[in-house]
Chain A
Amino acid sequence: MIHRESGLLKTSYQADMALYPLPIARWAVAAIAALAFLVVPLLLSDYYLSILNLVSVAIVGALGLNILVGYTGQVSIGHGAFMSVGAYTAANLATRLDAPFWISLPIGGLMAAAVGAVVGIPSLRIKGLYLAIATLAGQLIIEWTINHVTWISGGVQASIEVPRPRLFGMVISTQRQMYFFLLVFVVLAIVGVMNLMRTRVGRAFIAIRDQDIAAEIIGINIFRYKLLAFAISSFYAGVTGVLYTYYLGIANYEQFQITTSIDYLAMIIIGGLGSVLGSVLGAIFVTMLPIFLRITMETFGGLFFSSGAMLNIIPNLRLIVFGLLIIVFLVVEPEGLNRLWRNIRSYFRVWPFAY
């Protein structure tokens, strides 16, 4: 990841597929883990940890969406709704049956996976644009159902309060405890995706993305693998919804509308389609962007605008910058932040020589 190698000397497929290409990679990963688990929570205050917690939730969701869009090549504008399925399943389990989080979380994920697979059924017959619109329909229909069926959404403003998660008799309530809680899931999600893509299933996904008719001809059961991609991706989305619900302490459908689906798509586009590091970078980038913009505008905007105008400008400016970034990345660097990072690395690989 951040180490320099002295040339690519791989001689076997095993070496090429290895998670740690060099011994030093283990140290790099260990260093990042130490940074994330020990240094960061000791140094940062609650406010910054709360931002990092939002980032953590976003990373899990972005990784899930990238399995579907980046690795399998199927567009989905319905991930916000899949997250809400997980969120409401877990919230109902937690409030009605007193289920602890380690039961409600996987069940929330599985429920989202089932719904996601159903929404993915049209992907057998249609693709590309038509599939995008079909998943958009899935988003709107799920949203409407949750909002209108009070048995699911619990009545008042379609929101359910959930108790804080407990682990070994300890209630996870502060931002710092939440940080560790969420970080565990981030690690699990990253390791899960990296390993999934090294298996037969992952290779089938990539084959379908690259050329689905050719993939079918070499014997990949397209229907099964497309549905599997939808299911796995939605499982991640469901888990994201559950984590977000536990983080906020409330399940609310307003957190899972079309704009959420689009935010997550923006994360993987800006980060880089079909890349784990890209999902992480994109999630960090898109989550931090509104916070960064707000702070910048609050610091410097007062020089140019009155405070009344600022109230109108800040949320709209966020939309404009967000849209501009998506377009700029699509036009200038379609492979996203991941590619930029690789460019930097390959520059330093041979530094101080040009090539």
Chain B
Amino acid sequence: MFDWQFAALLLSNGILIGLMYSLIALGFVLVYKATDAINFAQGEFVMIAGFVVAVAITAYGAPLWLAVLVGLAGMIGFGFGLERVMLRKLIGRPVIAVVMATIGLAAILRGFGPMVWGAGTKSLALPIPEEPIILGPLFIPPIQLLGAAVSLLFLAAFSWFFLRSRRGIAMRAVADNQQVAMAMGIDVERYFGLAWAMTGIVSALGGIVWGNLLGVDVQLSLVGLKVFPVVILGGLDSIPGAIVGGLIVGIVENMAAGYIDPYVGGGTKDFAPYVLMIIALMVRPYGIFGKAIIERI
């Protein structure tokens, strides 16, 4: 007998968690879209943002709004600075160089956070109720609802930004062809910095909602590992793709955890998205919404 209530519970949970993955994947997509750089440190961005906000609240007693502002400002500055110091020097270098540089950055951040602010798990309290909202068979934790809402809000905001605003159009031009964009008078390097700063904003918000859900410590950066299946499924350079990919990954991993875990003894949650991703790579290497790359010699 198929248990519909259980399935509905897994599905709703998957959708909400999936949208929260999308929020982090959005940061990854923004950078890739504008600068062609792959950020293997996305999870660590989220972790550092979580650390900053949590420490501002617990150690310095800052009110929540101030802590969030500090987190946002810090991550924006970090994004700009990072582009200036590190990534600008790697423009035009092979893929492996950028991949390794961001892996190195990830190592630095993973060492820096616990070294400066202590290795213990910090709680990041938000003024929202803890008890899940009960809707018929569904249990919906408010923090997941908040995360999903933030994620959708940013999807709308970035879609507007890229389609309508002057800067967004300039950024698309930069992504499309750097040389032509430069010839049209667009300051390419400034838009690279802007893209990293936007990733900083998304990561800061991701750090707040995920930090509330999981607690802030080094383990928080593991959320970044989920970004890859999300962006591969959706397409690396597509904002709607990040949302759709997030939904797919969230639903699949919850379904897998609910139905397969009892037989194999756990851990399917981290495993199923990657199997799905391998299949996607074989069938549609550039994702559902991604742009196929045509190569010329």
Residues of A bordering B, CB below 8 Å: 69, 73, 75, 122, 125-126, 128-130, 132-134, 136-138, 140-141, 144, 147-148, 211, 213-214, 262, 265-266, 269, 273, 312-313, 315-320, 322-327, 330-331, 334
Contacts and interface: CB of A to CB of B under 8 A. Distances in A.
A125 B281 CA distance: 9
A305 B277 CA distance: 46
Interface string B74-105: 00000000000010011001111101110111
Interface stretch (B18-26, B162-170, B208-216, B263-271): B263-271
A144 B266 CA distance: 10
A320 B105 contact: no
A355 to B, nearest CB: 28
A132 B104 contact: no
4 smallest A-B Cβ distances: which pairs?
A319-B111, A326-B104, A323-B107, A323-B108
Interface stretch (B7-15, B112-120, B128-136): B112-120
Given A129-B236, A318-B111, A326-B100, 8 more contacts: A73-B94, A129-B99, A133-B281, A140-B271, A148-B264, A265-B100, A317-B111, A322-B111
B285 interface: yes
Contacts of A318: 111
Contacts of B89: 331
Given A75-B95, A122-B281, A140-B271, A312 B104 contact: no
A257 to B, nearest CB: 12
A213 B297 contact: yes
A317 B110 CA distance: 10
B112 A316 contact: yes
B281 A144 contact: no
A122 B281 CA distance: 7
Interface of B: 38, 86, 89-90, 93-97, 99-101, 103-112, 114-115, 118-119, 225, 228-229, 232, 236, 264-265, 267, 270-271, 274-275, 277-278, 281-282, 285, 295, 297
Given A129-B95, A320-B107, A324-B104, A137 B228 contact: yes
A136 B228 contact: yes
Nearest to A214: B297
Nearest to B266: A148
B277 A132 contact: no
A319 to B, nearest CB: 3
Q: Is the interface of B mostly helix, strand, loop or mixed?
A: helix
Contact of B285 (A125, A211, A213): A125
Contact of A141 (B114, B118, B271): B271
A148 B267 contact: yes
28 contacts: A73-B94, A75-B99, A125-B285, A129-B99, A133-B228, A133-B277, A134-B278, A137-B229, A137-B277, A140-B270, A141-B271, A141-B274, A148-B265, A148-B267, A213-B295, A213-B297, A262-B103, A312-B118, A315-B111, A316-B114, A318-B111, A319-B107, A323-B108, A324-B104, A326-B103, A327-B86, A330-B90, A331-B101
Given A140-B270, A322-B107, A122 B278 contact: yes
A325 B265 CA distance: 40
A158 to B, nearest CB: 12
B271 A144 contact: yes
B276 to A, nearest CB: 10
Nearest to B41: A323
Contact of B119 (A75, A312, A334): A312
A320 B111 contact: yes
A312 B277 contact: no
A327 B112 CA distance: 15
Contacts of A130: 232, 281, 285
A315 B107 CA distance: 11
A325 to B, nearest CB: 8
B108 A266 contact: no
B112 A320 contact: yes
A211 B297 contact: yes
A266 B112 contact: no
Nearest to A136: B228
B40 to A, nearest CB: 8
- Max count, chain B CB within 10 A of own CB: residue among A125, A136, A144, A211: A144
Nearest to A147: B267
Contacts of A313: 115
A331 B86 contact: yes
A327 B105 contact: yes
B108 A144 contact: no
A114 B116 CA distance: 44
Contacts of A73: 94
Contacts of A324: 104, 108
Nearest to B119: A312
B100 A125 contact: no
A330 B100 contact: yes
A69 B96 contact: yes
A73 B95 CA distance: 10
A122 B109 CA distance: 31
A312 B107 contact: no
A122 B279 CA distance: 10
B106 A144 contact: no
A260 B267 CA distance: 21
Contacts of B94: 73
A126 B97 CA distance: 18
- Max count, chain A CB within 10 A of own CB: residue among B109, B111, B236, B270: B111
B108 A319 contact: yes
Contacts of B103: 262, 265, 323, 326
Contact of B275 (A141, A312, A317, A331): A141
A140 B272 CA distance: 10
A325 B101 CA distance: 10
A72 B36 CA distance: 22
Contacts of A312: 114-115, 118-119
A75 to B, nearest CB: 5
Nearest to A130: B285
